[in-house]
Amino acid sequence: MGHENEILKKITAFFASKPGIIFVGAFIGVMAAVLQHEGNPGNMGFCIACFQRDIAGALGLHSAAPVQYIRPEIPGIVLGAFIAALIFGEYKARAGSAPMIRFVLGFFAMIGALVFLGCPWRALLRLAGGDLNAILGLAGLASGIFIGTLFIRRGFNLGRSRKTYPVVGLVIPVFMLGLLIFLIWDPTYYDAALGEDVTFIRTSTIGPGAMAAPIALSLGIGLAVGFFAQRSRFCTVAGIRDSILIRDYHLLLGVIALVIAAFAANLVLDQFSVGFEGQPVAHDDHLWNYMGMVLSGLAFVLAGGCPGRNLVLSGEGNTDSGIFVVGMLAGAAFSHNFRLASSPTGTGDWGPQAVILGLIICIIIGLTMRDKS
């Protein structure tokens, strides 16, 4: 037992170090390029927002046929974090930190991400693949985070979460396990009107949803990313936030490593193409690439982390982060049902208006939820 404890301590020390966070960022960057090479959409080896959108479609929450698939990477991240939290004694069921506000933040974070067409991870991966439109998205992300830090300096606080029953923290991990079961099992029912068996779970036959790496590879990489991210506290939003707020660049090293490693891997795999036009699953409306990520960056920083970090925290038993994840699923469904989401041809019919509304609501949240003491 003593020997095992020493090993766990050494692992913890490594992931808390600068080499550890650089390793995690580089691992995500390389694995994202590998997933793209093995079948995932272009510059989308990892995109938490896009993958949650696909899952929402697979569950029938929206009817956009090109973006429906249960992406194994998402359950993998949550379950990998859950396993790491159990091994290192960090699984703690907790709840009560403004859950409905977190739902709203997740909802609008997703709307902003789908106007840009990517989460912070994908923005970095798009840049590493040569998509220059990502520069506008990353500038918007940084601007949104900066606005959020102004609220934090003025006392913004969602309140403290409280310890709750252990089973409560299992809701999101069990839900993710259920998604994997449905993906592998693919249950069907007999439709009398059609006279044939029909699957419960929707899977795209065209578009990004029809492009996927093998399930075993996607799940395995997702599990590893969730495990490593849980140990290192990897977070793109926190990396930028901490560098602005407290001049701490530890997490930012992981972000930089992600971009460099993905860039190198894309060169090796012949997946690098520079330009604004013709980039995969992207548009070149610079204003709304920027504004969409301003909204997402603000929502992410108010919620305490990027979508990947919230997946990891939900795996640790944090149901407040789980509510944020559910809010993102709802935002994805709403975006496609009400024509907010962008496409390679440009922004959706109501996407810009939704971004403006989201910014107003997030600013109201930032102004009103302050610890005045």
pLDDT digits (tens, 9 = 90+) for 264-311: 999 999 999 999 999 999 999 999 999 999 999 999 999 999 999 999
The DSSP code sequence of 292-304 is: HHHHHHHHHHHHT
Among 92, 109, 89, which residue's Cα sits nearest to residue 101? 109
Identify the residue with better confidence: 35 or 371. 35
CA pair distance 57, 203, nearest whole angstrom: 8
User: CB within 8 A of 250, min separation 6: which ones?
Assistant: 18, 21, 239, 242
CA pair distance 69, 159, nearest whole angstrom: 35
Vertex 39, ends 42 and 60: CA angle to 5°?
85
Mean pLDDT for 135-154 is: 97
Cβ atoms within 10 Å, residue 174:
14
Mean pLDDT for 98-118 is: 97
pLDDT digits (tens, 9 = 90+) for 190-243: 777 777 777 889 999 999 999 999 999 999 999 999 999 999 999 999 999 999
pLDDT digits (tens, 9 = 90+) for 45-89: 999 999 999 999 999 999 999 999 999 999 999 999 999 999 999
Checking if the pLDDT of 187 tops 90, the result is no
Cβ atoms within 10 Å, residue 326:
21
Residue indicated by tokens 């090993």: 7
Decide: 86 and 315 in contact? Cβ < 8 Å: no
Among 258, 257, 239, which residue's Cα sits nearest to residue 247? 239
What pTM was estimated for this model as a whole?
0.96
Decide: 297 and 227 in contact? Cβ < 8 Å: no
Checking if the pLDDT of 373 tops 70, the result is no
Q: Residue 7: how many CA atoms within 13 Å on its side-chain side?
A: 5
Among 211, 201, 358, 352, which residue's Cα sits nearest to residue 281? 211
For residue 1, what pLDDT band results from cuts at 50, 70 and 90?
low
Scored b (16 or more CB within 10 A) or e, 100-135 reads ebbbbbbbbbbbbbbbbbbbbbbbbbbbbbbbbbbb
Distance of CA 129 to the CA centre of its chain: 19
pLDDT digits (tens, 9 = 90+) for 305-353: 999 999 999 999 999 999 999 999 999 999 999 999 999 999 999 999 9
> What pLDDT is attached to residue 372?
65
> What pLDDT is attached to residue 311?
98
> What pLDDT is attached to residue 302?
97
> What pLDDT is attached to residue 6?
87
Checking if the pLDDT of 109 tops 70, the result is yes
